[in-house]
């Protein structure tokens, strides 16, 4: 979307989806039932996809819905159901007071970083002229601006990714396979 001065519609929806994402993430970490937690995390990922679209990353938004919400979280759900962990009452899994204090301290440190970050200035020299990405998307469509650098500048990284995926597939199969001795028992 090309914009010189951000319309209220845009700003409102950006904040709306941001607040939904944070609220769902809070609900996600506080749920005791793993299934409910997964569903809240899916909600977070949907609102993040909406934010990506608002930030001119349409293709990334689609991939977020397809890969994260559609594939990765479904695998999590499968594992929860495979291991029959869906019952909330069996695992009361909040850690003790010491861990909560440590988590609170780390959280406070990260919040302090938030305020430092929001005050930071973007180096003007590096920044592109305003609306460059939006104009690119308007001119070439949503996918071509990503495909260009992906298959030219970052081709090596792209190829190495295939090795990573192969290693992951082999590793998952080896780890998930039952041992012969386990069969016998």
DSSP classification of residue 125: T
Residue 154, helix vs strand vs coil: coil
CA 157 – CA 152 distance, rounded (Å): 10
Near other proteins by CB under 8 A: residue from 4, 8, 9, 126: 126
Instruction: Please report how close the Cβ of residue 31 comes to other proteins at its closest, in angstroms.
Output: 8
Near other proteins by CB under 8 A: residue from 6, 16, 81, 138: 6
Extract the tokens encoding 132.
Answer: 């460059």
Cα 89 to chain center, whole Å?
A: 28
Please say which residue, 175 or 184, places its beta carbon nearer to other proteins: 175
Matching residue, tokens 């594939």: 71
- Pair 59, 142: CB distance under 8 Å: yes
Residue 75, interface with other proteins (CB under 8 A)? yes
Near other proteins by CB under 8 A: residue from 2, 81, 138, 172: 172
Please say which residue, 83 or 184, places its beta carbon nearer to other proteins: 83
Near other proteins by CB under 8 A: residue from 2, 7, 81, 132: 132
Near other proteins by CB under 8 A: residue from 127, 139, 156, 184: 127
Give the contacts of 16 (CB within 8 A, at least 6 positions apart).
none
Q: How many CB atoms lie within 10 A of CB 168?
A: 10
Q: How many CB atoms lie within 10 A of CB 111?
A: 10
CA 133 – CA 174 distance, rounded (Å): 43
Instruction: Please report how close the Cβ of residue 8 comes to other proteins at its closest, in angstroms.
Output: 13
Residues 29-48 close enough to bind other proteins by CB under 8 A: 29, 34, 37-38, 41, 44-45, 48
Residue 1, interface with other proteins (CB under 8 A)? no
Near other proteins by CB under 8 A: residue from 43, 46, 50, 64: 64
Residues 105-124 close enough to bind other proteins by CB under 8 A: 106-107, 110-111, 113-114, 117-118, 122
CA 137 – CA 121 distance, rounded (Å): 26
Near other proteins by CB under 8 A: residue from 95, 180, 181, 183: 95
């Amino acid at each position: 979307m090309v914009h010189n001065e951000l319309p209220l519609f845009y700003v409102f929806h950006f904040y709306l989806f941001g607040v939904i994402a944070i609220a769902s993430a809070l609900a996600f970490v506080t749920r005791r039932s793993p299934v409910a937690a997964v569903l809240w995390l899916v909600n977070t990922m949907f609102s993040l996809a909406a934010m990506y679209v608002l930030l001119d990353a349409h293709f990334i938004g689609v991939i977020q819905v397809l890969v994260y919400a559609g594939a990765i979280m479904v695998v999590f759900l499968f594992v929860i159901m495979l291991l029959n962990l869906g019952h909330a009452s069996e695992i009361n899994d909040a850690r003790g007071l010491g861990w909560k204090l440590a988590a609170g301290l780390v959280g406070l440190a990260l919040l302090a970083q938030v305020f430092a970050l929001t005050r930071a200035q973007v180096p003007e020299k590096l920044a592109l002229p305003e609306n460059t990405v939006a104009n690119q998307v308007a001119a070439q469509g949503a996918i071509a601006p990503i495909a260009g650098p992906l298959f030219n500048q970052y081709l090596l990284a792209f190829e190495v990714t295939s090795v990573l995926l192969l290693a992951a597939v082999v590793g998952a199969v080896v780890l998930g396979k039952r041992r012969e001795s386990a069969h016998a028992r």
